[in-house]
Amino acid sequence: MTLLQTRVEDKIARRFEKVARKRGETTYSFLQKIVFAAAEAPEPETWDNHWEKSKSLHLKPARKTVAEQREESGER
């Protein structure tokens, strides 16, 4: 399956070719790598699973809040 047939500005295309060459890739292999990485990237986290993740860290309750720390250090 052909996924991308995208027209881009000449300037962008030349820069892309240059970066690919610098990394020892062909334009095509570099583009493929980028597509693979994007497809495998995990979904960004939302607040929905935040608390479960927090619980899994087994945090000990902090003795001081940020407000107390600010006060204690006499931050001006």
Partner 1 sequence: MIYADTSFIAAAYGLDANTVAARRFIETNHPRLPLVFLHWPELAKSFWTSHPENAEKLWDWVKEDVAGGKKLYPLELEADLVARRAAGLIINFCPRWKKLRSLDALHVATAVAGNFKTFVSFDTRSFQRVLATTQKLKVWPPLTTEENLALK
The three-class DSSP label of residue 1 is coil
Distance CA 16, CA 56 (A): 42
Any idea what DSSP says for residue 43? P
By the rule CB under 8 A, 70 interacts with partner 1: yes
* C-alpha distances in Å from residue 61, one per residue of 49, 57, 58, 65, 69: 20, 12, 9, 10, 14
Determine which residue in the list 3, 22, 46, 52 makes contact with partner 1, applying CB under 8 A: 46
By the rule CB under 8 A, 40 interacts with partner 1: no
Determine which residue in the list 1, 37, 38, 59 makes contact with partner 1, applying CB under 8 A: 59
By the rule CB under 8 A, 38 interacts with partner 1: no
Which chain residues interact with partner 1 by CB under 8 A? 44-47, 50-51, 53-54, 57, 59-71, 75-76
